[in-house]
Amino acid sequence: MIKSTPYVLVFLLALLLSGCGEFYKLEKSTNWDELYEAANRYYDQGEYNKAIILYDRVLPVIKGSGKAELAEFNYAYAHFRTKRYIESAGYFKTFFDTYNRSPMAEEALFMHAYSLYLDSPDYNLDQRSSREAVNAIQLFMNRYPESDSYERAISMIDDLQKRFEEKAFEESKMYYRLTEGLFPGEFYRACIINFQNFAKSFPDSEYNEELAFKLVEVSAAYAERSVFDKKEERLKQSIDFAQDFSQKYPDSSYGKKVENIKSETTTELEAHYRLKEQYEARSAEARKLREEEERNQAATEALRNTEN
């Protein structure tokens, strides 16, 4: 048994070299029928890289013939099997556009979408390719609403939407952290806009309650730090956010904190009204004194002109 091992290795090596020699000859061959059959054979055997090499040679020659349809379909799948998803997406779409009446057209359009879906990144990365995948899935669903793959397409859409939601939530948290810096400035306003846009884009998100609370919190801080002319408007906005929160989430664990913020903001608004009233009274008095001084000055000038 042990002595036979070298003979087995020699046999396997010879077999391997024979296979390599056969493929090398095929690469140099101009027998297109032979290349076509070999490409399909390698594909069926799961040797997709070899199949791709041979399809690359034979496809331009057989284009437009009866053999091209299966070859192009296998070619797209060979790229998919080797996890070249961007390439497979393109080849499946080209197949569908070329052979949209083919019995394989439905599968090709689904695989176009599925390839883009598999290539889409995690939620913390740029999601432009994920949006492209969503568009492709929607195209498939619109074209084949009765397809057996329809439910699978829906689950893919749901998964991608969840990634968009996670991405948007992470961006919201980033803006929120920036308000804790030494110079929060416009980050308060950016937070308010971002939190509101999130709720519009993802109305059923589990994060909406937390962001609605942070909206109350941030808007109150923004109002507190605002210049006098903007303070009243922003204090009122914060109170409105607090009231909206209490209506939407009456049993929230954030409820007590929201009520405290609302109470403090209301107290500050009342203080602002008193200060505004005092300011307006002083301004009116100063205006009255200025007008009286202008009248006296005008009377003095008139008297001087009369004497002259």
pLDDT at residue 1 tops 50: no
Distance CA 130, CA 156 (A): 11
pLDDT digits over 141-200, tens only?
Answer: 999 999 999 999 999 999 999 999 999 998 898 888 888 765 666 788 899 999 999 999
Nearest to 78 by CA among 124, 114, 131, 39: 39
Torsion of CA 71, 73, 77, 78, to 10 degrees: 10
pLDDT in tens, 32-63: 788 899 999 999 999 999 999 999 999 999 98
Integer Cα distance of 186 and 171 in angstroms: 15
The terminus-to-terminus CA distance of the chain in angstroms comes to 140
User: pTM (2 decimals)?
Assistant: 0.72
Q: Give the residue from 118, 49, 116, 115 showing the smallest Cα distance to 82.
A: 49
Burial of residue 307, with CB atoms counted within 10 A of its CB: 0-12 exposed, 13-18 middle, 19 or more buried:
exposed
CB atoms within 10 A of CB 219: 25
C-beta separation of 40 from 62 below 8 A? no
- pLDDT surpassing 70 at residue 210: yes
Give the residue range(s) of CATH 1.25.40.10 domains in the chain: 83-164
Residues ≥6 apart with Cβ < 8 Å to 263: none
Q: Structure tokens of 172?
A: 């919201």
Q: How many Cβ atoms are within 10 Å of 24's Cβ, its own excluded?
A: 10
Q: Which residue has the tokens 């937070």?
A: 191
4 token code pair: 């036979």
Cα–Cα distance for residue pair 192/171, rounded to 1 Å = 12
Looking at residue 192, its pLDDT comes to: 94
Confidence of residue 2 (pLDDT cuts 50, 70, 90): very low
Euclidean distance between CA atoms 128 and 125, whole angstroms: 9
Per the prediction, the chain carries an average pLDDT of 86
Give the residue from 118, 163, 104, 113 showing the smallest Cα distance to 138.
113
pLDDT at 28: 66
- What is the Cα–Cα distance from 118 to 73, expressed in whole angstroms? 19
Query: What pLDDT was estimated at residue 29?
Result: 64
The pLDDT value given to residue 64: 85
- From the CB of residue 287, how many other CB atoms can be counted at a distance below 10 Å? 10
For domain 83-164, the question of CATH label 1.10.10.10 is answered with no
- pLDDT tens column, 15-27: 554 455 676 676 6
For the chain, helix, strand, coil in percent to 5 are: 80, 0, 20
pLDDT tens-digit series, residues 261-300: 999 999 999 998 888 888 777 777 777 777 777 777 777 7
- Of 195, 189, 92, the closest CA to residue 139 belongs to 92
| pLDDT of amino acid 245 | 96
Indicate whether 9 pLDDT > 70: no
Is there a contact between 36 and 71 (Cβ–Cβ < 8 Å)? yes
Supply the DSSP symbol for 251.
T
User: What is the C-alpha radius of gyration for the chain, rounded to an integer number of angstroms?
Assistant: 37
pLDDT given for residue 8 in this prediction: 52
- The per-residue pLDDT for range 51-98, each reduced to its tens digit, is 999 999 999 999 888 899 999 999 999 999 999 999 999 999 999 999
Exposure string of 26-47, with b = 16+ CB inside 10 Å and e = fewer, is beeeeeeeebbebbbebbeeeb
